[in-house]
């Protein structure tokens, strides 16, 4: 494994100071460490943020759930509060990787990495999330910029993610049979003011489907998407699924999500 | 390099380690605890599973530097006074292994499950062992072993 310096920060200011040059933040390491091992990434320093107080934990109010950046997937999946107010979010967390990955992997790390097949970015978009960082608040709609790319600036640390509590919501994932990542994942949320539908795994970056949102706004039922035309243009095509197949699966997963709302 | 203080199988250890050494390599090469296996080295196969502060993790994707102050249990730490852990006994009884390469990780994952959930269903056992791959048994003996062990823990 390529060499680097390991440093632990005790507060966000110290973390920002330490992350200069070719350094980066380390949370659970479930994406970062494999990337370094495979020589897809190299850093001078890894700044451990798990010892920063206040970065982990779940706060619930009637309108939103705020989850600290270093909260693990297992903690979200097992949280009674999350299960009660946004059950679909607990289901999503329970479906990430395997138990050992869920014991280490964090929500902040997942969205900072913005893997095209990650689950959490779809929850952020569908549940109209706000990303609280060490510098500002970012709307989820502006956060996910492209493949492995976000609006985060150098040294900016995610502190928490605040999800709007929907009237109803569901996440349906068509997983890769071996690795369980989303070949296509569809998150459907009926919020107070509108319906939001986000799709992960199908494109180079998570995105919202305006066509499906419009169809579900006028008729929130599985059959509402029957006449919606999902274009395969720009969707991922690989050995697991062609772009046309992914376009088809988007509708299948949408129906599944809506019917389990 | 930094000095790391950890407790492994109940024994306190203080060692100077490079910042980039993985827990799996540290256990095997520095402490000769070779019961923890490295199969894929990409956090998929689960042969390297150990317990970190009471939770199962993949030691091939964990830095020792990140474990300062932690309590770690490996497969070597399960037996007590020469008596196998109920999960180990059950794996032997139900032929939950053939070549045995995946077994340390499989057992450590199963122990974590049974410590968190007393009587898991067959589906819950299969779901939980998703991160552990066995190329010999076809999993039937493994699931039977975990079920049997659940009644004895």
Name every chain B residue with its beta carbon within 8 A of the beta carbon of A33. Answer: 61-63
**Cα A154 from Cα B29, distance rounded (Å):** 37
Shortest distance, CA A224 to any CA of chain B (angstroms): 33
Are B117 and B141 in the same domain?
A: yes
CATH number at residue B145: 1.10.150.120
- Which residue in the set B18, B41, B56 is minimally distant from A103, CB to CB? B56
Domains and their CATH numbers in chain A? 1-54 (3.30.43.10), 168-260 (3.30.390.50)
- Give dist(CA A72, CA A110) in Å, integer: 10
Q: Are B72 and B115 contained in the same domain?
A: no
- pLDDT, residue B29, reads 97
pLDDT at B1 over 90: no
Measured in angstroms, the CA of A157 and the nearest CA of chain B are apart by 19
State how far the Cα of A4 lies from the Cα of A23, in Å rounded to an integer: 9
Tell me how many residue pairs between chain A and chain B have CB atoms under 8 A apart. Answer: 72
> Is residue A99 less than 8 Å (CB to CB) from chain B?
yes
**B58, closest residue in chain A (CA to CA):** A100
User: Residue B153: which pLDDT band, with cuts at 50, 70 and 90?
Assistant: confident
Q: Nearest-CA residue of chain A relative to B21?
A: A1
pLDDT score for A179: 81
Q: Splitting chain A (261 residues) into consecutive groups of 10 residues, what average pLDDT does each group show?
A: 94 93 96 95 97 96 97 98 97 96 98 97 98 97 97 96 98 91 97 97 98 97 96 96 98 98 93
Looking at CA atoms only, how far is residue B98 from chain A in angstroms? 22
Residues of chain A in contact with residue B65, where contact means CB-CB under 8 angstroms, are: 6, 48
What pLDDT sits at residue A115? 97
In chain B, % of residues over pLDDT 90 = 97
Q: Which residues contact A181 (CB under 8 A, 6 or more apart)?
A: A115, A117, A118, A175, A201
Compare CB distances from A6 to B19, B58, B128 and report the shortest one's residue: B19
Q: Which of B56, B77, B98 is the last residue of a domain?
A: B77
Q: Which domain holds residue B120?
A: 86-150
Number of structural domains (chain B) is 2
Judge if pTM exceeds 0.90.
Answer: yes
**Residue A77 distance to chain B (closest CA, Å):** 13
Boundary-marking domain end, from B59, B77, B95: B77
Which residue is it, tokens 């999960």?
B87
Q: Please enumerate in sequence order all residues whose Cβ is within 8 A of that of B114, keeping only pairs 6 or more positions apart, or say none.
A: B87, B120, B146, B149, B150, B153
- 3-state DSSP call for residue A111? helix
Taking contacts as CB-CB distances below 8 angstroms, the residues of chain A near B21 are 1
Residues B46 and B100 reside in one and the same domain = no
Residue of A3, A5, A34 with shortest CB distance to B43: A34
Q: Are residues B26 and B68 in the same domain?
A: yes
Contacts of A130 (CB under 8 A, 6+ apart): A137, A138, A139, A140, A161, A162
- CATH code assigned at B60: 3.10.20.30
B49 shares its domain with B108: no
Are B118 and B98 contained in the same domain?
Answer: yes
pLDDT at A177: 84
CB contact under 8 A, A99 and B112: yes
Question: In this structure, are B98 and B69 located in the same domain?
Answer: no
Q: Check pLDDT > 90 for residue B115.
A: yes
Q: Is the pLDDT of residue B87 over 90?
A: yes
CA distance A233 to chain B (A): 32
Q: Which residue of B has its CA nearest to A27?
A: B66
Asked if B59 and B90 sit in the same domain, the reply is no
Per CB-CB distance under 8 Å, the chain B contacts of A32 are none
Helix (H, G, I), strand (E, B) or coil at A215: helix
**ipTM (interface pTM):** 0.96
Asked if B62 and A3 come within 8 Å (Cβ–Cβ), the reply is no
* pLDDT reported for residue A180: 85
Interface of A with B in 154-183 (CB under 8 A): 179-180
The 8-class DSSP code of residue A206 comes to: -
Answer with the one of B39, B59, B77 that is the final residue of a domain: B77
Is B18 within 8 Å of A3 when comparing Cβ atoms?
A: yes
With CB atoms and an 8 Å threshold, state whether A99 touches B130. yes
Residues B19 and B71 in one domain: yes
The C-alpha atoms of residue A107 and residue A76 are separated, in whole angstroms, by: 9
On whether both B62 and B119 belong to a single domain, the answer is no
Which residues from B are below 8 Å from A6, CB to CB? 2, 19-20, 63, 65-66
pLDDT at B107 over 90: yes
Residues B90 and B72 in one domain: no
Kindly report, residue by residue over B6-38, the tens digit of the pLDDT: 999 999 999 999 999 999 999 999 999 999 999
pLDDT tens profile B48-67 = 999 999 999 999 999 999 99
* CB proximity A34 to B under 8 Å: yes
Residue B65 and residue B97 in one domain: no
């Amino acid at each position: 494994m390529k060499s680097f310096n390991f440093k632990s920060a005790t507060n966000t200011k110290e973390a920002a100071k330490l992350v200069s040059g070719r350094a980066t933040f380390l949370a659970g390491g479930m994406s970062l460490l494999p990337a370094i091992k495979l020589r897809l990434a190299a850093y001078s320093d890894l700044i451990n943020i798990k010892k920063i107080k206040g970065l982990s934990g779940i706060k619930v109010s009637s309108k939103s759930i705020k989850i600290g950046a270093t909260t693990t997937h297992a903690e979200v999946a097992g949280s009674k509060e999350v299960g009660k107010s946004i059950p679909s979010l607990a289901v999503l967390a329970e479906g990430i990787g395997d138990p050992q990955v869920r014991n280490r992997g964090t929500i902040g790390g997942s969205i900072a990495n913005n893997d095209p097949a990650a689950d959490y970015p779809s929850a952020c978009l569908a549940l109209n999330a706000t990303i609280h960082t060490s510098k500002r608040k970012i709307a989820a709609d502006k956060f996910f910029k492209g493949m492995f790319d976000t609006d985060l600036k150098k040294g900016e640390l995610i502190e928490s993610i605040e999800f709007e509590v929907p009237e109803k919501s569901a996440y349906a994932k068509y997983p890769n049979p071996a690795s369980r990542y989303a070949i296509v994942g569809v998150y459907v949320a009926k919020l107070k003011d509108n319906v939001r539908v986000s799709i992960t795994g199908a494109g180079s970056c998570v995105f919202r489907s305006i066509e499906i949102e419009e169809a579900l706004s006028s008729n929130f039922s599985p059959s509402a998407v029957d006449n919606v035309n999902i274009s395969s243009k720009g969707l991922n095509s690989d050995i697991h699924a062609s772009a046309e197949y992914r376009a088809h699966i988007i509708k299948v997963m949408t129906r599944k999500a809506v019917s389990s709302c | 390099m930094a000095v790391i203080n950890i407790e492994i199988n109940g024994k306190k250890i203080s060692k100077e380690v490079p910042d980039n050494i993985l827990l799996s390599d540290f256990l095997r090469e520095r402490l000769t605890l070779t019961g923890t296996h490295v199969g894929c080295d990409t956090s998929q196969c689960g042969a390297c599973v150990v317990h970190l502060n009471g939770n199962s993790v993949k030691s091939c994707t964990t830095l020792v530097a990140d474990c300062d102050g932690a309590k770690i249990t490996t497969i070597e730490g399960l037996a007590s006074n020469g008596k196998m852990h109920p999960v180990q006994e059950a794996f032997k009884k139900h032929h939950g292994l053939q070549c045995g390469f995946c077994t340390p990780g499989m057992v450590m994952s199963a122990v974590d499950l049974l410590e968190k959930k007393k009587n898991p269903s067959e589906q819950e056992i299969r779901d939980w062992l998703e991160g552990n791959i066995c190329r010999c048994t076809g999993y039937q003996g493994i699931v039977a072993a975990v079920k049997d062990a659940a009644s004895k823990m």
